[in-house]
Chain A
């Protein structure tokens, strides 16, 4: 049994160079930095076009200190498959293959390849950093943009449709390990990435990723807003391990306790400007119903 991860024993080794092009206060920068600590040096990354492409660096300088293959938007999981195929052919199976895609690259254009790779049982970890819109192209709606949110391609009343539940889609593929995480709970994220490494086959991590520019908040609030999303019960930290669902970290601690009203979260970001009181009431009800199910479910101690 290894020691419990704490901020004190978390490795100081960095895998991302400073001076990269990520925006000030970028949520992705936090999760990428923390998760790469868990993945370690013997890792090959696969990245489609996204904010991460910019963060990673422009030729000829790379911000990431790990080998990385930039691939076309729709092909992330298939490209990871190809890396794995070559590693198998060469007897280099020990190397971890990790794909990192945004929510568009995962839930929209990348879903076919991801589904195919999961069905084939490819041995990779797929990280979806979900900033809930196409941020790199200027905040257009994606499949994971929540309902009523304003983007540059939604009506002035906000997105009419609900957020696509990608972890549930992944769960339907029968993956052995699925987890959600948030930059506001870095140790929880680190432990999940570390745990994902102990499984073989496809593993999926879905990470809530606050984006100051796209969500309309001041850069210093990235961590705070991610935290409120969890405390309101809007974004939940959980694992699905061999089919068993379990709330983790802060979300697990919230069982049986009063949650922060969802309104608190919506007030922090301009993208929620189109929300009416009725909408907020409706969402609060949905969150309450979701949590009632959590409360009534059997939870392993």
Chain B
């Protein structure tokens, strides 16, 4: 804690942390849904491919044998689905999924 009479108590010094832009998952119109039956590392149980991980602009896909997408922050750009060589990721309308979830 700074001394009460210190100079320059207020400066624009930012500290690293997630979610500066809020829960950017709320930006999503389409949600990427991964099909483990088609996903190469998931299907083969081998470290392979990871196109979704490397191309994700927001780093919200894990580099694991079953890649996991962090929907809290995934903006739904769809690059993962577009770049998946196995066609394992489908972009599904967020509203439909939310309606489904709310049932």
Q: Which residues of A contact B14 (CB under 8 A)?
A: 57-62
The reply on B35 being an interface residue by CB < 8 A is no
Residues of B within 8 A of A34 (CB): 54
Q: A19-B24, A30-B55 are in contact. Are A24 and B73 (CB under 8 A)?
A: no
Cβ–Cβ contact A19 & B18, under 8 A: yes
Residue on B nearest A26 in the bound complex, by CB: B57
Task: Give the complex CA separation of A25 and B18 in angstroms.
Answer: 18
- Decide: A64 and B82 in contact? CB cutoff 8 A: no
- Complex Cα spacing A29 to B59, Å: 9
A22 within 8 A of partner (CB): yes
Expressed in whole angstroms, the minimum distance between the Cβ of A5 and any Cβ of chain B is 11
Q: Is B78 an interface residue (CB 8 A)?
A: yes
For residue A18, which residues in chain B have a CB less than 8 angstroms away from its CB?
18-19, 24, 58-60, 70, 72-73
A220 touches which one: B15, B16, B81 (CB < 8 A)?
Answer: B81
A244 at the interface (CB under 8 A from B): no
Interface size on A, residues (CB 8 A): 39
The answer to whether A19 and B51 touch across the interface, beta carbons within 8 angstroms, is no
What secondary structure prevails in chain B residues at the interface with A? Answer: loop
| Residue B77, interface by CB 8 Å | yes
Q: How extensive is the interface on chain B, given as a class?
A: 35 or more
Distance in Å: Cβ of A258 to nearest Cβ of chain B:
23
The reply to whether A219 and B54 form a contact with Cβ atoms under 8 Å apart is: no
Given A25-B78, A219-B77, A222-B77, the answer on whether A20 and B58 have CB atoms closer than 8 Å is yes
A139 to chain B, nearest CB (A): 19
0 or 1 for each of A13-38: is its CB under 8 Å from B? (1 = yes): 01011111110111101100110000
Against B, the Cβ 8 Å flags (1 = close, 0 = not) of A198-235 are 00000000000000100000111111100000000000
B79 to chain A, nearest CB (A): 5
Nearest B residue (CB) for A30? B57
Tell me whether B58 and A8 are in contact (CB under 8 A). no
Q: In B18-67, which residues have CB < 8 Å from any A CB? A: 18-24, 27, 47-51, 53-60, 63
The docked-state distance in angstroms from the alpha carbon of A219 to that of B58 is: 13
How far, in whole Å, are A24 and B18 apart by their CA atoms in the complex? 16
Q: Does B81 contact A10, Cβ atoms closer than 8 Å?
A: no
State the Cβ distance, A137 to closest chain B Cβ, in Å. Answer: 19
Contact of A8 among B21, B24, B47 (CB under 8 A): B47
Contacts of A40 in B (CB 8 A): none
Kindly state whether residue B9 has any CB partner on chain A within 8 Å. no
Q: Determine if A12 is an interface residue (Cβ-Cβ < 8 Å).
A: yes
Docked CA distance A26–B75 (Å): 10
Q: How far is the CA of A16 from the CA of B81 in the complex (A)?
A: 22
9 interchain residue pairs of minimum CB distance: A220-B78, A29-B57, A25-B77, A19-B19, A18-B73, A57-B20, A21-B21, A62-B14, A24-B75
Residues in A lying within 8 Å of B, measured CB to CB: 7-8, 10, 12, 14, 16-22, 24-27, 29-30, 33-34, 57-65, 183, 186, 212, 218-224
